[in-house]
């Protein structure tokens, strides 16, 4: 299908113009075909999402029965209706989501980086066992933890607060990020720590003044993933937040759908689009960190 010399791994991705002259006509035909397939595939993948965005700007009676992406009228009524459809304006739920997300990001950044420093730079008794336990906790299904955790948090009166969602992150329970940061710190030359130690710096200073500034990319990856996962989270929010005024955008959206029973889909779509916008933005600006994180850890 293609010239054999281009059948190489991504090494050539940055300079795709490298082709052998004699096969260039044949190559460009197959390349066009490939692009056609890729673009068609991309369209099919994104079509439902694009359709939702377009439909959120259509009047309700024009949503069903129009599978196209052509917008004949441009109406923001759905956004106004959706924003005010629940007991609180939708912004209230977005703010709740933002509070939870910020708490989780801060928690993960602080607690996971501390633990990662210990696992990658310190020598201590039983290190490999603790490290092994940490790796295993990455794979524990939440279900096997959630019942006792719920009982505990309900006994101390934390149900219907954001604390059960945020406090565990302050305790480095997102072990995936500990692992990610350990991987990253291992790549930082040890000579830097040793030079600082000779100058009399203790571990805390080495951590804050040498390691932390150098691991910004790993912190970026953690921030972006924590944002997206927390923003999309539903299961733990559903369990811990039962009062409507505490709802996050995920919960609000879900209660909106169930309350509407297929009447005001335009408004539902409008709020769905709004709830996806932060994820799109973070993806757009944080893509670099996402891809780097996946490349260094094998992703999650």
Partner 1 sequence: MSVVSELRDLKNAGKSRGDGKAAFWFLLPWFIGLFAVTAGPMLVSLGLSFTKYNLLQAPQFNGLENFKRMLGDERLLHSLGVTFLYVIVSVPLQLAFALALAVLLDRGVKGLSFYRSVYYLPSLIGGSVAIAVLWRVVFGADGIFNQFLGIFGIHGQGWISSPNTAIWTLIALNVWTFGAPMVIFLAGLRQIPVSLYEAASMDGAGKWRQFRSVTLPMLSPIIFFNLVLQIIHSFQSFTQAFVVSGGTGGPADSTLLFSLYLYQRGFRNFDMGYASALAWLLVLIIGAFTAVNFWASKYWVFYDD
* Closer Cβ to partner 1, 102 or 283, answer by number: 283
* Closer Cβ to partner 1, 46 or 216, answer by number: 46
140-166 burial: b if 16+ Cβ within 10 Å, else e: eeeeeeeeebbeebeeeebbeebbbbb
Whether 58 and 41 have beta carbons less than 8 Å apart is answered as: no
291 binding partner 1? (CB under 8 A): yes
Q: Which of 95, 163, 170, 214 binds partner 1 (CB under 8 A)?
A: 170
281 binding partner 1? (CB under 8 A): no
297 binding partner 1? (CB under 8 A): yes
* Closer Cβ to partner 1, 161 or 183, answer by number: 183
Q: Smallest gap, in angstroms, from Cβ of residue 129 to partner 1?
A: 9
Gap between the Cα atoms of 13 and 25, Å rounded: 20
Q: Which of 87, 209, 263, 287 binds partner 1 (CB under 8 A)?
A: 287
Q: What angle do CA 293, 290, 7 make, to 5 degrees?
A: 80
User: According to CB under 8 A, which residues from 41 to 70 bind partner 1?
Assistant: 41-42, 45-46, 48-49, 51-52, 64-65, 67
283 CB-side CA count, 13 A: 8
Size of site (CB under 8 A) for partner 1: 111
Q: Smallest gap, in angstroms, from Cβ of residue 120 to partner 1?
A: 10
Residue 231 makes CB contacts below 8 A (sequence gap 6+) with 97, 101, 249, 250, 278, 279
Residue 267 host element (H or E): helix 265-297
User: According to CB under 8 A, which residues from 240 to 259 bind partner 1?
Assistant: 250-251, 253-254, 257-258
Q: Smallest gap, in angstroms, from Cβ of residue 32 to partner 1?
A: 11
User: According to CB under 8 A, which residues from 90 to 149 bind partner 1?
Assistant: 110-111, 114-115, 117-119, 122-125, 127-128, 130-149
User: According to CB under 8 A, which residues from 187 to 216 bind partner 1?
Assistant: 202-204, 207
Gap between the Cα atoms of 138 and 174, Å rounded: 7
Gap between the Cα atoms of 195 and 187, Å rounded: 17
Q: Smallest gap, in angstroms, from Cβ of residue 191 to partner 1?
A: 18
């Amino acid at each position: 299908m293609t010239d054999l010399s281009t059948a190489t791994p991504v090494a050539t991705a940055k300079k795709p113009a490298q082709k052998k002259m004699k096969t260039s006509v044949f190559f460009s035909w197959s390349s066009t075909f490939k692009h056609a397939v890729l673009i068609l595939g991309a369209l099919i993948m994104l079509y439902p999402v694009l359709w939702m965005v377009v439909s959120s700007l259509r009047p309700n009676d024009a949503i069903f029965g129009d599978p196209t992406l052509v917008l004949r009228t441009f109406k923001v009524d759905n956004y106004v209706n959706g924003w005010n459809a629940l007991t609180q304006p939708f912004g209230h739920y977005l703010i709740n989501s933002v509070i939870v997300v910020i708490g989780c990001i801060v928690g993960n950044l602080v607690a996971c980086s501390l633990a990662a420093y210990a696992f990658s730079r310190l020598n201590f008794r039983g290190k490999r066992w603790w490290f092994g336990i940490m790796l295993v906790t990455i794979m524990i299904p939440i279900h096997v933890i959630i019942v006792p955790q719920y009982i505990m948090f309900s006994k101390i009166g934390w149900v219907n607060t954001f604390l059960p969602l945020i406090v565990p992150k302050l305790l480095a329970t997102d072990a995936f990020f500990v692992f990610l940061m350990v991987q990253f710190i291992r790549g930082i030359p040890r000579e830097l720590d040793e030079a600082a130690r000779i100058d009399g710096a203790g571990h805390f200073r080495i951590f804050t003044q040498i390691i932390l500034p150098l691991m910004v990319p790993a912190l970026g990856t953690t921030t972006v993933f924590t944002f997206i996962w927390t923003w999309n989270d539903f299961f733990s929010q559903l369990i811990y937040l039962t009062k409507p005024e505490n709802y996050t955008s995920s919960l609000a959206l879900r209660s909106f759908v169930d309350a509407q029973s297929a009447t005001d889909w335009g408004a539902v779509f409008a709020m769905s689009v709004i709830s996806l916008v932060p994820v799109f933005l973070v993806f757009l600006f944080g893509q670099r960190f996402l891809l780097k994180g996946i490349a260094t850890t094998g992703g999650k």
